[in-house]
Chains A and B, each alone.
Chain A
Amino acid sequence: MQNAPLQTDPLLRSERARFPGTGHSAFGLRRSQMREGWVGLLFALPHLLLFGVFLLAPVLYGFYISLHRWHVLAKSHPWVGLENYAAVLSDDIFWIALRNTAYFVVLVVPLGNLVSLGLALGLASVKRFQAFYKVCYYLPVVISIAVVAVLWRWLYNTQIGLLNMYIGAVVGGLREIGLPLAPFQPLPWLSNPLWVMPSIALMSIWWGAGGNMILYLAGINNIPDDYYEAAMIDGANAWNRFWAITWPLLKPTTLFCLVFSVLGAFQIFGQTYVLFTGGAGPARSGLTVALYMYQQGFGQYEMGYGAAIAYLLFAIVLAFTVLQFRLLEGRAERAGPDEKMDKPVGEPVEEEAV
């Protein structure tokens, strides 16, 4: 595929261009190329070491664990093959967790991206204090999810929460001026099973919108002004300009953001873990796959079972990612040579360590 040039060492490419058709070693490499290969490896070594020690090794070890009955305290960990996987797949709580997680993804990915895009469009048209607004909207991204969740747990409190207080005041005010509204009943943000996931999604969007916003903003700023000038001369209004210029030229950015939103959303853990202090919310409505994995692995110390859940989640996320990358590559080609989004293609998807 000619669209993945990142995987090719540019040095090697230039050398190949200079010495076309020269002899190769047994490994298919010329001596100088081999040496350069080792030098390259040496440069990459610090990262490779960290990657190997802290990511790859634990991930592979996790797979090994998932094939055993592995209670942390047990003196022996018998090999059970795929038994843990079979048990997880026939565990209806896993399916509840998966359904909750999918619901979260469906809620947070489109809405979150819409919010990010909206913010970026707004910011792009702001001439003064743009940096200030950028920082404001980006600030939540910097905050740790634990802090965010503790904050929002208080905002969402049914009795004394700020959100209900504000909504109550607004409803009260509207009634005061004669609107036929029912008296305000406090909203059960986190205590009614039907409200739990939308509440968590709202919080997550607030937390994460700034990240994608920056990417969208960069994408928007990359669009040459000439297009807009030409469109203005042709009499296009703001909507036409967005729909005919911004939106199509932003497609690579949009796809990139979508892919990574989906990746992140499937791995949702911190939100529910902190909001429900390790529990799963009313009627397990806040139980996500990653949280269930944690509960099994570190609450029940059944590491094998937890690792199997982790690998199933990995398989699901991987499937989605492959699908999206296919889509991404196709779209990027169609977007034309200038807008190629070849950057993320080379990197493999990272999986959360077990």
Chain B
Amino acid sequence: MTFSIRKRILLFLCVLISALLSAGCASLRGRGASAVEIGPGGKVVLDFWNGFTGPDGKMMEAMVRQFEKEHPDVDIRMQIIPWGTYYDKLTLSLAYGGAPEVFILHAARLPEYASFGVLEPLGDLVASSQPPLPVDDFAPIPWQATFYKGKQYALPLDVHPIGLYYNTKLFKEAGIVDEQGRAKPPTNWEEFLSAAQKLTKDTNGDGQPDQWGFVFTWQRTNWFTFAYQFGGGALSPDLQSCIMASTENLAALRRMNDLIYKYKVAPKPEGIDAWLAFRQGKAAMALEGIYMLASLEEQKGLPYAGAPAPQFGPVRAAWAGSHLLSMADGISPEAARAGWKFMRYLSDHSLMWAKGGQVPVRKSALRSPEFAEMPVQAQFAKQLPYVRYEPLSPKANALFPFVDPAVEAVLLDLESPKEATEDACRRIEQVLERP
């Protein structure tokens, strides 16, 4: 008897759910062309998303305000979302609605979004831009990264190469100085190794080093730098196959492993906050992106300087990323024009952006005397002719769950470079074969 009531409840629930589902499905289709939002006073309102949570965010805010002052017809609503969750939010908004008109993409993520057709092609806007966009003023490598299959989808805002941060006080103590007595950063493997050996010290006499010559911080960017310098990388140039287990890559990984276990000049990356070790003067050198500069400026009493990454292998290369400015596919022409005006403005004011701790991609900004006075930025910018991005493949983001553990396993000495990379390649090939 009572089961009938339960059946009724079930029936009721079923109706409820099917209603909800159909409503949900209907609303989930709501993507694509959105009407332009007009604010008070006939202003075009643009949402602008980025992940600049540090000092760069304050600089961007200042630039946005300056833009609004000079362009009273456009209202920018900037939203800063930490990079850790940024892409989740961006992806879902692009898929299900609520996407911003203008947003930042990293160079290595552009092919993925472009391949799904969610980015606005910029070709016409670039061509009709007034005054004409000085294409030759852009550094070529970041400029090319804005294209996918021949179409341009973004405007490069900056480039953030990896570089060598070194502790000048520890260098002087170890006697690694030039003729004028200034700390002398290593430029190649031999100099790097000898400096690291001099800088690794047991200062409290317990038989364990407590000051290290070098420390691996972000293993992914460190690995890409080593790998590219040995002529390796994650994918073949045609992006169709995994080359992590190639002899060049194995040599690069072995050299990284040697720093920890053979030469013992870097701590095992085990339960240590590697970047903190550099900040606290317990490690004398680290390879990190220009974006870490802000955290060093915060550290009181840390004497540091920046230099191009030393050349560890036969090829000149350094990992880099870029912040690109993109727009969502299908926005109204009016919003697109306003968005382009905004993007162009940010690019034209690259020098201001550099002050927030970035390397500009406009040659005019790079050559300016103001930029030359930014010590670390200017040093890292020297690598611009040979910086390398992560594979510019739509599958790039799907590779890291296999690249990262392989590198980590080698640096923890859990697996040999060959075992680790062959395992990673087997899985990466599976990802590449997926439609």
Is the CB–CB distance between A71 and B271 below 8 Å?
no
CB closest chain-A residue, reference B282: A159
Is the CB–CB distance between A278 and B84 below 8 Å?
yes
Residues of A56-105 contacting chain B, CB below 8 A: 56-57, 60-61, 64, 69, 71-75, 93
Is the CB–CB distance between A52 and B20 below 8 Å?
yes
> Is B401 among interface residues, defined by CB-CB distance under 8 A?
yes
Interface centre among A29, A44, A52, A188 (most CB of B within 10 A): A52
Contact partner, A157, options B84, B273, B412, B415, Cβ 8 Å = B273
Contact partner, B95, options A57, A64, A73, Cβ 8 Å = A73
Is the CB–CB distance between A75 and B116 below 8 Å?
yes
> Is A130 among interface residues, defined by CB-CB distance under 8 A?
no
Is the CB–CB distance between A40 and B5 below 8 Å?
yes
> Is A221 among interface residues, defined by CB-CB distance under 8 A?
no
Is the CB–CB distance between B116 and A73 below 8 Å?
yes
Is the CB–CB distance between B92 and A60 below 8 Å?
no
Contact partner, B20, options A53, A158, A159, A160, Cβ 8 Å = A53
Give, as a whole number of angstroms, the nearest-CB distance from A37 to chain B.
4
Is the CB–CB distance between B116 and A282 below 8 Å?
no
Is the CB–CB distance between A193 and B272 below 8 Å?
no
Complex Cα–Cα for A63 and B16 (A): 17
Could you give, for residues 43-79 of chain B, a 1 whenever the CB lies within 8 Å of some chain A CB and a 0 otherwise? 0000000000000000000000000000000000000
| Interface size in chain A (residues, C-beta < 8 A) | 55
Give, as a whole number of angstroms, the nearest-CB distance from B137 to chain A.
33
Could you give, for residues 253-290 of chain A, a 1 whenever the CB lies within 8 Å of some chain B CB and a 0 otherwise? 00000000000000000000000011110111000000
Complex Cα–Cα for A282 and B270 (A): 9
> Is A122 among interface residues, defined by CB-CB distance under 8 A?
no
> Is A191 among interface residues, defined by CB-CB distance under 8 A?
yes
> Is A192 among interface residues, defined by CB-CB distance under 8 A?
yes
Give, as a whole number of angstroms, the nearest-CB distance from B95 to chain A.
5
Complex Cα–Cα for A44 and B8 (A): 13
Knowing A158-B272, A159-B271 are in contact, say whether A73-B5 is a contact too (CB < 8 A). Answer: no
Contact residues in A for B404 (Cβ distance below 8 Å) = 279
Is the CB–CB distance between A284 and B405 below 8 Å?
yes
Contact partner, A41, options B8, B91, B118, B271, Cβ 8 Å = B8
Is the CB–CB distance between A9 and B405 below 8 Å?
no
> Is B333 among interface residues, defined by CB-CB distance under 8 A?
no
Could you give, for residues 27-65 of chain A, a 1 whenever the CB lies within 8 Å of some chain B CB and a 0 otherwise? 111000100010011001000110011001100110010
Is the CB–CB distance between B95 and A72 below 8 Å?
yes
CB closest chain-A residue, reference B115: A73
Could you give, for residues 101-128 of chain B, a 1 whenever the CB lies within 8 Å of some chain A CB and a 0 otherwise? 0000000000001001110000000000
Complex Cα–Cα for A37 and B9 (A): 9
Is the CB–CB distance between A57 and B21 below 8 Å?
yes
Complex Cα–Cα for A182 and B8 (A): 70
Is the CB–CB distance between A301 and B91 below 8 Å?
yes
Is the CB–CB distance between B409 and A37 below 8 Å?
no
> Is A113 among interface residues, defined by CB-CB distance under 8 A?
no
Complex Cα–Cα for A191 and B21 (A): 44
Residues of A143-174 contacting chain B, CB below 8 A: 156-161
> Is B414 among interface residues, defined by CB-CB distance under 8 A?
yes
Contact residues in A for B130 (Cβ distance below 8 Å) = none
Could you give, for residues 1-32 of chain B, a 1 whenever the CB lies within 8 Å of some chain A CB and a 0 otherwise? 11011101100110011001100100000000
> Is B348 among interface residues, defined by CB-CB distance under 8 A?
no
> Is A14 among interface residues, defined by CB-CB distance under 8 A?
no
Contact partner, A74, options B116, B412, B415, Cβ 8 Å = B116
Is the CB–CB distance between A188 and B91 below 8 Å?
no
Give, as a whole number of angstroms, the nearest-CB distance from B386 to chain A.
30
Could you give, for residues 231-269 of chain A, a 1 whenever the CB lies within 8 Å of some chain B CB and a 0 otherwise? 000000000000000000000000000000000000000
Is the CB–CB distance between A300 and B398 below 8 Å?
yes
Give, as a whole number of angstroms, the nearest-CB distance from A83 to chain B.
12
Complex Cα–Cα for A13 and B435 (A): 59
> Is A110 among interface residues, defined by CB-CB distance under 8 A?
no
Knowing A283-B405, A298-B88 are in contact, say whether A52-B13 is a contact too (CB < 8 A). Answer: yes
Give, as a whole number of angstroms, the nearest-CB distance from B204 to chain A.
14
Is the CB–CB distance between A157 and B17 below 8 Å?
no
Is the CB–CB distance between A190 and B271 below 8 Å?
yes
Contact partner, A283, options B6, B272, B409, Cβ 8 Å = B409
> Is A2 among interface residues, defined by CB-CB distance under 8 A?
no
Contact residues in B for A116 (Cβ distance below 8 Å) = none
Contact partner, A29, options B4, B24, B88, B397, Cβ 8 Å = B4
> Is A295 among interface residues, defined by CB-CB distance under 8 A?
yes
Contact residues in A for B269 (Cβ distance below 8 Å) = 191
| 29 pairs, A vs B, C-beta closer than 8 Å | A7-B6, A9-B5, A28-B4, A29-B5, A33-B1, A37-B5, A41-B12, A44-B9, A48-B12, A48-B13, A52-B16, A56-B13, A57-B17, A57-B24, A61-B24, A71-B116, A72-B91, A72-B95, A73-B91, A73-B118, A159-B272, A186-B271, A191-B268, A280-B401, A283-B409, A283-B414, A283-B415, A284-B405, A300-B398
Top-4 shortest CB links A-B: A158-B271, A191-B270, A73-B116, A37-B5
